[in-house]
Structure 1
């Protein structure tokens, strides 16, 4: 064979080898870039549930009953990563998936020399065994393991393989991966572990069942056992060879390493955590973390106060309670106690009482009065009748079985009088109280006819969460907003169901309700609390709900089986727990400052006669101030107090024009017959007007009625489209000499008052027909119709 032939044959062989290497490289590159599933795909994972400050509430088991969290390589401490490679596979970055030298050394140690068994598996081979659950104790199994390791190296990068191994490695019992191990053993994420902690985790996977045994001490703490401590020391010696600068770590390695066990994992706020875990399917998210709106510090406070209260009340048969605390600023649920004891089967402790339908008793009454404020039915000092009443076939009674006669709206709400509440609800138009509850999100309500007016007194059912949302609506100036359970739930503006004015006044009315232990509270600790109690029929539920600064607090006592207990009275059973929690919030220095409100709002302070709640006439002896919503609140002249002319000689009513030489006047109270009867029954003396005081209808001596002089009768007033706000009408009237003040109305809406002889400026808010009326402080009146039109 010639030299040329030999060179030609060699060239052909090199071409074949080059082609083969090219094809192999193309296959390798193509395999790496060919779509393939992530190593974390379809792996069941645990969930970490935390409070809003990052405190651990619960670590759940994965679906295969293991604690496993998938942590990206970038979120693992570099010291831990290096320690694992130093312990398990120092040549990991260079071998193709298996290390022939390590395999030979391991085989000789295991089968040839008879010495201790030494593993020859690389990190990639160990990952293959863990991922595919391989049996590798015989030669055939080992070959399968090597083939799988080559497959992993072919399809995945070194970092992906290393990340997967760190998340699959066994760490004792049913704990897998450095994420779960660091969280359970050290109560911290794997990016915050120290070098001593990293070294312990690095050596643990080689014999997790043996080295993972913990040594208990007298203080119930757990420390690493001798096997794990010795293995960690050997690894540290190798670490020091690579890192001689870490001399300071010697002292740390000599300290005992405190570990926790899985049995010590927290199980806080179980009802809230159960809820957010159940709803997790509705909120897809990346990562194993679930951060709630709960504050673990406030949660402990509520749990302790509930537990202590029930211990004090156990002799009265009170065994179960629920409570919820909401921050109205973002509607986050800060604390939730679903039952007194989650693990007590005798009270059905795993039932979440905050989501159970119960009769609310009188806790819904504030919303009746808020609607009435918005619809112009009353103002806080409107006098209502607490007298025996029938509303068709419905005849409500008060809780105490008695009647108070005339009461202001504020007193009726604070004292929870049933008759006035039903009377006010009967006057509501749009929305009715039933419609309002539907708009407020009260679920599973029957038809309106099913409840009737009994709905006012707790005839329907609400959940604690629904009730808390409605009280939060009062705190948010009338906007109904959804509760937030997770920090990544975006706050919503909500829908307005009440005006800011009605919400503010209702809160102010509820603040007049004194605490049940008001006499024992020091005067130096004033804290305005707008609160209300409720008691259901047959004493099945005791409630207390209210607004404390930026928070809404609702508590409930009762039994989940619906059994009754005479001790279940709102003011006696629930209110003490409510204020025990309020005092706890103060003691814990929780910020209870009033949040920013919508201001200014359209309300005014108006003087009224205390006896009637109407504008005071000339003879009203006691006057007070009330909140008034211009254009809504009903304002009339009081007619309870009236002056009667009496003959000086006989003391009997005198008729005709008043003559001061022969007549004198005395003021009497003119009460309706039903209220007068209540006064008699209560033993409250009232001076009844004498017979013949009306002089047979001839009352010229009472003086002249006012007469409107402006605006003019039968006159059309115009406003321009370009400046509709520049139409000011002057309202004026002539009055009798005994008049000091007049009050002006448009229809039934009060628009202002003026001193006698003074005019009042009024700007119409629309075009059309208006009925203007003026009433003096003696109750005499005049009215006229005017028309307002628009021009270009």
Structure 2
């Protein structure tokens, strides 16, 4: 069966021919210009609605004309008879004619006149592989049959008489002569006035070479298997689709060899897909143009990070300015790093999200739970794929999973639809299905953060419509370059890479996909300023409020409190201000609140000393020591000891030193070995030692007991030790 896939306005996007190579665009009578029906019935069968399928007068007139002129002048066939011949072709013999008459009477018995006329306008031949007025109107005139002018209607009414000989794109003079015969007939019977017909005859027939519909081919292929209708309606904006496909052809020349591209544009108020580009060029085999990258399973890179922050906000683990740790850490055998290979130390949640820092995202996911995260995503219709017999782990937040672009873009609808993930709609009849993933407040905070509006401001300074918010992603080995954008009206998904998974050095989300995003965003904004005014407003939800918080504790403290080492403004959710999120595995004694006693001079004393006053001291997490200014490090923050009444355990503590390893040393494994046994001792200090490697708890030892650790992975390490007196000593080295 011939099928055609059409845009939201009826423009053909792609056609699939039937077994005979014919394609048609079926239409109903009310989808055809009345001028065409007037021209067709007047010229072909004026008594169509009156005769029983066979018109004896027409047949007699045709016989007389043919005998008189000794050549075929007219056939005498009614439209009903022509339909019978189109459905069941017959030989030009007496037996064949009798069979045609029989089929005609059958048609008239079983179908109404309108139904028979509908069959004719959809089956009439129009030259080459075209059948029907719908296909002819779009192929020859690039317009729907409902918009035909009188001149165009007269032309298309006569073409089925000799479709090959009268093709207007090849033989415009013949076509014009035939059209004028139809006009003469319309004037003769008073259907159109003499003046109107004379004006129409002044128009010459000239058409460009016929063009087959060639838009959104991979979407058409995708929907073909899902629909039994011969006309498959979509939500695609044909003008936007054509503009973006032209843009992609321009971008293609700037891409490395064998690189393709996928683009999705979705109207997020309805979730209707307005543009669908599955590859850079369908006909470019070197770029695997036949592979639909919108449905392909790829690594999402860092594009899942916003979901982790949104879920952590809802869970009360963080607020927008929570203190997170961008420091080297190792999680079992997994040791993530940042894209720029450096570390920033203390960062806020909003800053970490905007800068797409890896270690803070892993810290958040570690606290929330990768399995729980994956389950929430699946419940919202977003499937993350993992290797067989492999459970979700922390690497997924950095792209250690597989997913499809259409589901990823669908997932981002949560940030523009009040926390609800809605499925994409490709056809007008597709229902709007949505599921809650995060709260409205969390969605608003994350979206505003990605739009560069993380800093709280008064409501009258918050834009009614969210500016362009976007998140990039780059998979391991530069295989996938992503950006997902959200403006006031649309979701925009972009993927660039090689479909075969080959790395493309230097290709990453910010450099490759973001420029394309901005170009598409400008196009959408500039298309129609009136449309932008109708975009949904984005007020601050009542569950979101402003608060002033203090680092390192992450909570509110009174003005002037010395434990407020850094004051910050934050968006908070449901009036909750969670404390600083600890890293799992870190001892609670190395950060947070330290209870101690001081005298009137502010020196540390034992709790039973005269005039001792209890005091709480806010300490930064030990893993951040290296990145803190000297004034904020533990050694500087702890008050001086009072030697006359020293605190227990602090009275005679000498400086704490690590022995056995120099700062910046480069260690090498012995030839033929896969590991290195590291043995370190301490000097000075007081009491027990707590050892940490890259910010994670390693072990606890006595003062005279060495620390022994077997290292197998090459890379940079930092070993820290803390004693009972609060002293810290660290040493960094490289294992080659």
Scaled by the length of structure 1, what TM-score is found? 0.69
Partner residue of 2:264 out of 320, 324, 327? 324
Q: Which residue of 2 is the match for residue 634 of structure 1?
A: 578
From the superposition, tell whether residues 298 and 644 of structure 1 become closer, same or farther in structure 2 (CA, over 3 Å): farther
Partner SS, residue 376 of structure 2: helix
Instruction: Tell me if structure 1 keeps the 8 A contact 2:248–2:280.
Output: yes
Q: Which residue of 1 is the match for residue 514 of structure 2?
A: 575
CA distance, structure 2, for counterparts of residue 355 and residue 157 of structure 1: 45
Partner SS, residue 354 of structure 1: coil
By how many angstroms is 1:307 displaced? Answer: 4.0
Q: Which residue of 1 is the match for residue 184 of structure 2?
A: 237
From the superposition, tell whether residues 323 and 159 of structure 1 become closer, same or farther in structure 2 (CA, over 3 Å): closer
Q: Which residue of 2 is the match for residue 228 of structure 1?
A: 175
By how many angstroms is 1:212 displaced? Answer: 2.0
From the superposition, tell whether residues 248 and 538 of structure 1 become closer, same or farther in structure 2 (CA, over 3 Å): same
Q: Which residue of 1 is the match for residue 140 of structure 2?
A: 185
CA distance, structure 2, for counterparts of residue 174 and residue 317 of structure 1: 36
CA distance, structure 2, for counterparts of residue 474 and residue 158 of structure 1: 54
Partner SS, residue 454 of structure 1: helix
Partner residue of 1:537 out of 472, 476, 481? 476
Partner residue of 1:201 out of 156, 181, 185? 156
Partner SS, residue 407 of structure 2: helix
Instruction: Tell me if structure 1 keeps the 8 A contact 2:298–2:402.
Output: yes
Which aligned pairs between 1:122-271 and structure 2 lie closer than 5 A?
122-136=78-92, 138-215=93-170, 225-243=172-190, 245-259=193-207, 263-271=210-218
CA distance, structure 1, for counterparts of residue 484 and residue 422 of structure 2: 17
Instruction: Tell me if structure 1 keeps the 8 A contact 2:473–2:508.
Output: yes
Alignment of 1:435 with 2:375, yes or no, is yes
From the superposition, tell whether residues 682 and 148 of structure 1 become closer, same or farther in structure 2 (CA, over 3 Å): farther
Partner residue of 1:87 out of 31, 39, 43? 43
CA distance, structure 2, for counterparts of residue 398 and residue 636 of structure 1: 22
State the superposition RMSD in angstroms. 4.1
Q: Which residue of 1 is the match for residue 287 of structure 2?
A: 347
Which aligned pairs between 1:671-690 and structure 2 lie closer than 5 A?
671-679=620-628, 687=636, 689=638
By how many angstroms is 1:327 displaced? Answer: 1.9
Partner SS, residue 427 of structure 1: helix
Alignment of 1:67 with 2:23, yes or no, is yes
Alignment of 1:50 with 2:7, yes or no, is yes
From the superposition, tell whether residues 658 and 241 of structure 1 become closer, same or farther in structure 2 (CA, over 3 Å): farther
By how many angstroms is 1:258 displaced? Answer: 4.2
Which aligned pairs between 1:350-749 and structure 2 lie closer than 5 A?
350-428=290-368, 432-443=372-383, 445-446=385-386, 449-492=390-433, 494-512=434-452, 528-589=467-528, 591=531, 595-597=536-538, 600-616=541-557, 618-619=561-562, 620=564, 622-630=566-574, 632-635=576-579, 670-679=619-628, 687=636, 689=638, 692=641, 696-697=646-647
By how many angstroms is 1:324 displaced? Answer: 1.4
Gaps of 5+ in 1: 1-43, 216-223, 515-523, 700-792
Query: Number of matched residues?
Result: 624
By how many angstroms is 1:439 displaced? Answer: 1.9
Instruction: Tell me if structure 2 keeps the 8 A contact 1:647–1:653.
Output: no
Q: Which residue of 1 is the match for residue 653 of structure 2?
A: none
Partner SS, residue 339 of structure 1: coil
From the superposition, tell whether residues 334 and 642 of structure 1 become closer, same or farther in structure 2 (CA, over 3 Å): farther
By how many angstroms is 1:407 displaced? Answer: 1.5
From the superposition, tell whether residues 203 and 295 of structure 1 become closer, same or farther in structure 2 (CA, over 3 Å): closer
Partner residue of 2:238 out of 296, 299, 314? 296
From the superposition, tell whether residues 452 and 178 of structure 1 become closer, same or farther in structure 2 (CA, over 3 Å): closer
By how many angstroms is 1:122 displaced? Answer: 3.5
Partner SS, residue 210 of structure 1: coil
Per-residue CA deviations over 1:709-740 (Å, capped at 9, x if unaligned) read: xxxxxxxxxxxxxxxxxxxxxxxxxxxxxxxx
CA distance, structure 2, for counterparts of residue 109 and residue 566 of structure 1: 78
Partner SS, residue 444 of structure 2: helix
From the superposition, tell whether residues 396 and 181 of structure 1 become closer, same or farther in structure 2 (CA, over 3 Å): closer
Instruction: Tell me if structure 1 keeps the 8 A contact 2:5–2:234.
Output: no
CA distance, structure 1, for counterparts of residue 429 and residue 85 of structure 2: 38
CA distance, structure 2, for counterparts of residue 98 and residue 630 of structure 1: 79
By how many angstroms is 1:683 displaced? Answer: 13
CA distance, structure 2, for counterparts of residue 580 and residue 642 of structure 1: 56
From the superposition, tell whether residues 190 and 469 of structure 1 become closer, same or farther in structure 2 (CA, over 3 Å): closer
From the superposition, tell whether residues 559 and 622 of structure 1 become closer, same or farther in structure 2 (CA, over 3 Å): same
Q: Which residue of 2 is the match for residue 24 of structure 1?
A: none
CA distance, structure 2, for counterparts of residue 389 and residue 426 of structure 1: 12
From the superposition, tell whether residues 162 and 369 of structure 1 become closer, same or farther in structure 2 (CA, over 3 Å): closer
From the superposition, tell whether residues 547 and 237 of structure 1 become closer, same or farther in structure 2 (CA, over 3 Å): closer
Instruction: Tell me if structure 1 keeps the 8 A contact 2:544–2:575.
Output: no
CA distance, structure 2, for counterparts of residue 540 and residue 472 of structure 1: 25
CA distance, structure 1, for counterparts of residue 249 and residue 174 of structure 2: 44
From the superposition, tell whether residues 669 and 402 of structure 1 become closer, same or farther in structure 2 (CA, over 3 Å): farther
From the superposition, tell whether residues 153 and 531 of structure 1 become closer, same or farther in structure 2 (CA, over 3 Å): closer
CA distance, structure 1, for counterparts of residue 620 and residue 79 of structure 2: 95
Per-residue CA deviations over 1:98-155 (Å, capped at 9, x if unaligned) read: 455655665566678744564343433333322211111x333333333433444455
Per-residue CA deviations over 1:471-521 (Å, capped at 9, x if unaligned) read: 1112212112111111222323x221211122122223323389xxxxxxx
Q: Which has the larger radius of gyration?
A: 1
From the superposition, tell whether residues 575 and 683 of structure 1 become closer, same or farther in structure 2 (CA, over 3 Å): farther
Q: Which deviates further from its counterpart, 148-157 or 366-375?
A: 148-157
Per-residue CA deviations over 1:345-380 (Å, capped at 9, x if unaligned) read: 111112111111111111111111111111111112
Partner SS, residue 520 of structure 2: helix
CA distance, structure 2, for counterparts of residue 66 and residue 154 of structure 1: 29
From the superposition, tell whether residues 629 and 58 of structure 1 become closer, same or farther in structure 2 (CA, over 3 Å): same
From the superposition, tell whether residues 549 and 190 of structure 1 become closer, same or farther in structure 2 (CA, over 3 Å): closer
By how many angstroms is 1:289 displaced? Answer: 4.4
Per-residue CA deviations over 1:556-576 (Å, capped at 9, x if unaligned) read: 111000000121222222222
Q: Which residue of 1 is the match for residue 734 of structure 2?
A: none
CA distance, structure 2, for counterparts of residue 97 and residue 296 of structure 1: 41
Partner SS, residue 401 of structure 2: coil
CA distance, structure 2, for counterparts of residue 124 and residue 586 of structure 1: 52
By how many angstroms is 1:205 displaced? Answer: 2.2
